Structure 1
């Protein structure tokens, strides 16, 4: 009977450990602290097994097992002592593991290894006015995740089997080509929907252009069979854990390549200081349609992957770099040279990469920045651009002050460089989370604020570039339908021009209407030579401005 009970308890121990592994999926790697938590859990379960065995022996003795006349107390002592050694060994092992984990964490903390933490990254110094890239108007990442979600979720009703699926809350920022998007896959609504549709997979994902606010429900040529909403072996984290049991990696995140193929990217980590301070060393790419996966070293990750490093990792490393250059105790007492990141950050799309930027301020955390940090989220290359400016939160407060009677709330600013100067571009939302207006705040003098409910008109005041790409953005970003494109063509009857905010605006009288064309770096070189009698065409915008202006005759 005891042997049967022992075998049953061993099977229950194995089952409990299997369930724990299935749920928590730790890496079987002694360099992962999660592995040691799993070991401790197994030892605790083993203690429970010995407790049940001892209790069974005790109950057996109390029911008259052994020779007649034996005392229960004496028999219990005899039977329980055989478990003393394994129990003590298990308790000693648990205590040793806990002490070592605590000791190693303390020894490898910033208290003792401050300069080691400070030197994990290097920072390149640069001048903002000379080296920071001029903002590409056509790649402005204007939408935050909340706004992208509002737009993207409206497309759910256009799919078949709409009752079976929802749209994931991911809305991860990526670049496709050189355009900034937020992308999010569809997901099974619940376990029963998954059970009914898992054989067919997921056919769609949503992508929202962060510049224009236009969304698209993308139908895949091959459905996704691997996703975060799976419940069994095709769950992305479980699938990769079983395939890479000893590799330490984070939760897979959804991305798409430049051809629109869906992938999950899991960042691979290695502790920087024994069991502490995990740092990325590569990435696993999982094709969500086929299940094919590959582990890449950090310098071999494909260029289309936008984010290997998390914002938390980047900000922690930058803070360590600026905080601990002169050791730990300097941060407590004199704080000489101690700087830190501000409490706000955002992302910028530059070429085909995503960059995180945030301000760098003094340890006193006042309302001024000493410069801006720009970090490539695929490579973690860090550049500090020196420019004295207001903090992002100060700029937000200044923008909100311009529309205080409306009660709009400012989103996290987007840092832009226009005509060689640093500005914050800020969206202003109402209580429903809809964008109602936009503000440009001078980063060096945050009291200089310009507000407009038309994004194209606002940006055009600060750049000579063609802003027509933003012509439909205001309506789309605010949740309104984009206006219908109106093509205008005609012949110049009268012509005049004047300077407005440093830019030349041409006034064209044609068939009783007056149209305006702003001269920018992208308009035709023939515009200054426009004359009465010339034919023209363009797209009608607000206030009778013409975008995509062309001279069609009179050459």
Structure 2
């Protein structure tokens, strides 16, 4: 009976450990913290199993003197075999925890600040002469949420629409040097997977970030490997079983320049003992065939857009600018300490995706000292020196220009037009739909130009051909509505200050129109009088833009 219980407890230990491995999938690698936590879990469970076995095992009587008296006390304790096992496991658990704690502490930035600062190298350059001129035809206008709104409208066009949804991935990639957001379809539930997994997932969505046009791409053969698969075809589990000792991150969906779907899993190795994982390469998984191949960093195919994560890039850049003079300098004098700003975005240059963000001082004021551009496949970092406003300041300035409409500014896109730096900002309404665009002068963020038509807006700042932006769609997936031009005669006129800006109220033919005074409105606006003829483009809340006085009384 006792042996039977022992066998059952040992079998239960194996079962729990197997289930734990199936769920958490830790790499069998001594340089992985996840592996050591898995080992600790096994040791703790083993301690419990042996402790339970010892309760039913043979015991020995131990007599000891009660301190401070002549009395003796007899207690029962496990036989030495169990006692030694429990002691050994306890020692192993304590040793692992001590090693993990000591490794983390001794390899922290407190002791190895300069080592962290030197993980990457940053090349300095001049923005005016070295930063690439923005290619209008490859301008990424849509952020992730906007692309998702457009892409999700195409789900109803597929067969078996009730069986699938569209993944929330919408990862930014370049296909033939054009910026896209791509996302695969996914099974809506286990039972819908059970009914359809033999044929696989036959579609993915791609949204052109320049034109806003979406396409539901039908594959010749369905994807048999994805994040929504179960059991052995789940991407993370499939790769873990093929590469049990490799440390890698969650696979992310990408497509090559021919439109073939892949999952890309970045491989890692700790930089300092067991801490600070840093990419070493990538594993590519063909989502249709299941074929995999592992690459070192220098050999990763050029169509792969993002090997390095934004968190890794920003963390390394912050370390570089923060710890050049050691840890304690960041606490006291903060000499030369800089950091990245709170907002970052991506831009496409050629066939690569670049992360950019501003570099500001440790005091985090509203000005940047320059910008960094980071290739997300190679992590080559270039710092472009240019005194400018922060991205947050640019957002606030753009929102202030249309404050009466309560639009919300998206993360700015850094553009260079005719040799000058600007922030391009999309302005969304409460429903999350892009209603207008703003260009903010990066060096003087109070200079803001707003227009509902992106082609017209960009054309004001560059001589480049802007025809690629003609007919850019909105988040609804439909072309922007035709602008209504209002003409009339001023019957009555009044004005008032709203949040620091003068708004003119024009009564004409029973309607009241509003014109907000900005740097772009005509200089003759303050001299507008009853009887004057005018025209302008009608916007929300009866505001007029591109206002002109056509015939002065």
Which runs of structure 2 are paired with 1:286-365 in the superposition (5 Å)?
Answer: 286-365=285-364
2:130 maps to which residue?
131
1:3 Cα deviation (Å)?
Answer: 1.5
Distance in 1 (CA, whole Å) between partners of 2:210 and 2:374 is 21
Matched, 1:223 2:219: no
Distance in 2 (CA, whole Å) between partners of 1:78 and 1:392 is 68
1:58 Cα deviation (Å)?
Answer: 8.4
Distance in 2 (CA, whole Å) between partners of 1:259 and 1:480 is 25
Distance in 2 (CA, whole Å) between partners of 1:58 and 1:186 is 60
Runs of at least 4 residues off by over 6 Å: none
8 A contact 1:424–1:443 mirrored in 2? yes
**Alignment partner of 2:372: what SS?**
strand
Matched, 1:479 2:476: yes
1:443 maps to which residue?
442
1:511 maps to which residue?
none
Distance in 2 (CA, whole Å) between partners of 1:241 and 1:482 is 45
1:39 maps to which residue?
39
8 A contact 1:143–1:477 mirrored in 2? no
**Alignment partner of 1:260: what SS?**
coil
1:375 maps to which residue?
374
2:383 maps to which residue?
384
1:56 Cα deviation (Å)?
Answer: 3.1
8 A contact 2:213–2:477 mirrored in 1? no
Which runs of structure 2 are paired with 1:85-100 in the superposition (5 Å)?
Answer: 85-100=84-99
2:56 maps to which residue?
56
Distance in 2 (CA, whole Å) between partners of 1:199 and 1:16 is 30
1:21 maps to which residue?
21
**Alignment partner of 1:141: what SS?**
coil
Which runs of structure 2 are paired with 1:127-526 in the superposition (5 Å)?
Answer: 127-473=126-472, 476-482=473-479
Moved more, 76-85 or 408-417: 76-85
Distance in 2 (CA, whole Å) between partners of 1:197 and 1:215 is 25
1:78 Cα deviation (Å)?
Answer: 4.9
Distance in 2 (CA, whole Å) between partners of 1:319 and 1:477 is 36
CA displacement 1:368-417 (0-9 Å, x = unmatched):
00000000000000000000000000000000000111110000000000
**Alignment partner of 2:148: what SS?**
helix
1:176 Cα deviation (Å)?
Answer: 0.2
8 A contact 2:137–2:210 mirrored in 1? yes
Unaligned runs of 5+ in 1: 62-72, 486-500, 502-542, 544-555
**Alignment partner of 1:477: what SS?**
coil
Distance in 2 (CA, whole Å) between partners of 1:136 and 1:121 is 28
Distance in 2 (CA, whole Å) between partners of 1:159 and 1:312 is 36
CA displacement 1:69-128 (0-9 Å, x = unmatched):
xxxx97x82545542111111111111101110101011000000000000000000000
- With normalisation by structure 2, the TM-score equals 0.83
1:336 Cα deviation (Å)?
Answer: 0.3
Alignment coverage as a number of residue pairs: 473
1:307 Cα deviation (Å)?
Answer: 0.1
**Alignment partner of 1:386: what SS?**
strand
1:482 Cα deviation (Å)?
Answer: 2.4
Distance in 2 (CA, whole Å) between partners of 1:79 and 1:327 is 54
8 A contact 2:153–2:477 mirrored in 1? no
**Alignment partner of 1:343: what SS?**
strand
8 A contact 1:183–1:205 mirrored in 2? yes
8 A contact 1:174–1:181 mirrored in 2? yes
- Once superposed, what is the RMSD of the aligned Cα atoms? 1.8
Distance in 2 (CA, whole Å) between partners of 1:126 and 1:403 is 35
8 A contact 1:212–1:477 mirrored in 2? no
CA displacement 1:442-486 (0-9 Å, x = unmatched):
00000000001111111110111111111111xx1242522799x
Distance in 2 (CA, whole Å) between partners of 1:439 and 1:297 is 42
**Alignment partner of 1:233: what SS?**
helix
Distance in 1 (CA, whole Å) between partners of 2:346 and 2:158 is 31
**Alignment partner of 1:479: what SS?**
coil
Counterparts in 2 of 1:363 and 1:484: CA distance versus 1, 3 Å: closer
1:6 maps to which residue?
6
Distance in 2 (CA, whole Å) between partners of 1:416 and 1:58 is 78
8 A contact 1:436–1:478 mirrored in 2? no
1:54 Cα deviation (Å)?
Answer: 2.4
Moved more, 141-150 or 45-54: 45-54
Counterparts in 2 of 1:194 and 1:58: CA distance versus 1, 3 Å: farther
- With normalisation by structure 1, the TM-score equals 0.83
1:516 maps to which residue?
none
Distance in 2 (CA, whole Å) between partners of 1:79 and 1:370 is 69
Distance in 2 (CA, whole Å) between partners of 1:78 and 1:314 is 56
**Alignment partner of 1:302: what SS?**
coil
Distance in 2 (CA, whole Å) between partners of 1:378 and 1:215 is 25
